[in-house]
Structure 1
Amino acid sequence: MFSAQPTETRPLTWREELTHDLADATEKTRAAWLSQRNVVATYLRAVMPHLEAAFHRGGLGHLRDRGMLPPSLTHPLTGREKQVIVRVARGMSNAKTGADLCLSEETIKTHLGRIYKKTGTHDRAHAVALLLIRGDITAADVLEPLDDDC
């Protein structure tokens, strides 16, 4: 007959503790990513204004100089770039955006190229998504009626 013998409990080694902690952190991160809440967007909305304020006060200048900050913090959008990206977010083509802002289609492409460079993105959808998350443009910007800018 089998009799259950108590197993000896020994303290975990530091490697076992670290492995356990990393596995726990990985699982929590995976669960957060899979949850309905957008943890990253919430974090960015909370942290970005503080980073930008510190940068503009000069507190993060040394990080900028060493290339350790993303371009989005060191190069904010100009007013015209914001006008362009809001129209892009509305689904306007380059031609329609140009006509709406009294600019050539080539000028719109130039503005979009600068926006991509500043945000580290490569296409319209990614740029719009990132700028919405960062708060550079808002849903209100995209949904409100546009002024005639010509």
Structure 2
Amino acid sequence: MMNDGKEWQRALPEFLLEAEKLLNKSEECLSHLHLIRNDSDAIDCMKISLSRLAEKADALALQAIGEFSRHIQTLIANAQNPLQLHDQALEALHACLTLLAWQLELIDTRTGELALDDTEQTTLIATVTLQIPQKTFSHKPQQRLHHMW
């Protein structure tokens, strides 16, 4: 969908309302994780909320928000120990959610553009990556086929 015209202006308020609900749900899950670290339901809820936010943003061609939401969700999904997130990891995730909320407020309601320097997103993703060790995917060495001549 292109970010112009009346269709965009009608779709944006609905998106912003839904995005606010999804971010609030993610914040609730994060608060819950501060109290109960090993709550897989809270982690799953956060992943689902961020994934839905990414999908909704993509549908309106809000690339920066969609990609950032998806990246956060992926970092949570690929955590080595998702049920053992420490305070620094939770704070880094909170900073990401705060930035997402701020970015939603900065969307130009006429054009849908988000004038954005992605430095803060990049910094926060790096921080989350440091705080939430990721699963490593090992590749099995390919077996060589021996040809008989």
Same fold (TM over 0.5): no
Which TM-score bucket, shorter chain as reference? under 0.3
* TM-score, reference length from structure 2: 0.28
The one of the two structures with greater contact order (alpha-carbon pairs below 8 A, sep at least 6) is 2
